[in-house]
Amino acid sequence: MTLGILYHMPFWQTADGTLWEAEGSFARYVDSLAPYFDRVILSVPVFDTPPASGSRVTAKNVTLAPLPYFPGPRQFYPQLRSVQPRLRAWVDQCDVIHLRVPSPAAIFAFRLARARKKPIFLLVVGDYEALLPHLGYTGIKKALFAMYVAFEEWAVRFMTMRALTFANGRALREKHEAHGATVHETRTTTLSLADVATRSDTCTQPRIRILTVSRIDPRKGLRMLPSMIASLKSDGFDVAIDIVGPPIGLIGESERDAIAADAKRLGVSDRVTLPGPVALDRLMPMYRDFDLFVLPTRPGEGIPRVLMEAMAAGLPVVTTDVSGIASLITNGENGLLVPDASPEALTAALRSLITTPALRQRLIQGGYATARAHTLERQAASLMQTVASECGLPLRRPDAA
């Protein structure tokens, strides 16, 4: 049986046939589903110029049905006429279709698959409607993006009402259930049991190293991090932060430049580092070099997978109580939740972690338990059990792959 997976995360293929993805989280997700099928075909954009590094797809039964490269909807829609026949050919090769949404190509693939009576299952991983107020667009750009969001909201609702649907976290499940869809809650992850560390404490060296892993755009709340570092420094703490991740489009590049400018203005540019993107295979061991993890994200996503990655590495986590995050983190047990993404709230939470070893140690152990409960293997087994049952598909057992 052949599974077709569509998403907008770009891949590339090397001369030896190996498939690579720049970020790595989607590559690991594909690897987790591959053992349940004879073949997996990815309908994804392919880089015109591949990046220097990335994460490899290890499953041997995964191939590409390449789409032209598009970093966002603005580049996708002018190419729609050439994309349509590629989607049609891809759908015809597959026995079951899996769409991660929202994604620009998803509604077009969905209609083609429905017309051919192919079983379809969705995974909802984001909420453009919720993030719209937090983007820095103005004027015509704001109006155009609002139109795209309205279309994407209609498309996702149309699909969730007509196909087996999973959602990343409680908030996304409740949103689509309110529209009348039947939705299964899940939590996207990148972890295997081998990724779970063993250290019992952090913050034992003179300098406290803080980590943020996030795509850089206005919805992530990253602009407040230099102020947070400046406040902790003024309180007498020797702290530094690495903000790891790629800027998303021109607005992301502007956000990155603004973060750097704020750090310089506040006199902490030597303590705020923006190293850019790091592929997941390199990133996972890198987490363990840090003491604390902070993510001041705003509404607009399900459950950021970086929270579980930080927990697995033994990092106490501070993040905001938005979207589906509270369905993963219980305040004071496996992380600290702040009610709003403000420098003051983040500073207070981090100060309490730095000065209270017992709190750090409790959160670390709670994080380990959460990470072990949400491995890729468990997530894939749960998804595939539901898909097999509700779609009537005779899927392979992983141990038979």
pLDDT digits (tens, 9 = 90+) for 37-71: 999 999 999 999 998 888 999 999 999 999 999 98
Confidence of residue 399 (pLDDT cuts 50, 70, 90): low
Q: Give yes or no for a contact between 329 and 335, defined as CB atoms under 8 angstroms apart.
A: yes
Q: How does pLDDT run across 235-255, given as a tens digit for each residue?
A: 999 999 999 999 987 888 999
Q: What is the mean pLDDT of residues 68-80?
A: 92
Q: pLDDT band for 400, please (50, 70, 90 cuts).
A: very low
* Number of helical H runs and strand E runs in the chain: 14, 16
What local confidence, expressed as pLDDT, does residue 130 receive?
81
This model's pTM is above 0.85 = no
Average pLDDT over all residues of the chain: 93
Is residue 369 pLDDT above 80, yes or no?
yes
Strand order in the sheet with 19-21: 11-13, 19-21, 55-56
Rounded CA-CA distance 364/348 in Å is 19
* Burial classification of residue 297, based on how many CB atoms lie within 10 Å of its CB (0-12 exposed, 13-18 middle, 19 or more buried): buried
> Does 92 or 52 have the greater pLDDT score?
92
CA 269 to chain centre: 28
Task: Tell me the C-alpha distance between 165 and 361, whole Å.
Answer: 37
Query: Would residue 228 be called left, alpha or beta, if left means φ above 0 and alpha means ψ between -120 and 50 degrees?
Result: alpha
Architecture of domain 2-189+375-400: 3-Layer(aba) Sandwich (3.40)
Average pLDDT of 24-29? 92
Domains of the chain, residue spans: 2-189+375-400, 193-373
Helices (H), 164-295: 170-178, 225-234, 249-265, 280-286
Statement: 193-373 belongs to CATH 3.40.50.2000: yes
Do 2-189+375-400 and 193-373 have matching folds? yes
Higher-confidence position of 301 and 271: 271
Strand order in the sheet with 272-276: 272-276, 239-244, 208-213, 292-295, 317-320, 336-338
**Measuring CA to CA, which residue among 194, 224, 242 is closest to residue 348?**
224
Question: What is the secondary structure of 88-119 as a DSSP string?
Answer: HHHHHH-SEEEEEES-TTHHHHHHHHHHTT--
CA angle 238, 242, 244 (to 5 degrees): 170
Cα-only R_g, the chain: 21
Residues present in the chain in total:
401
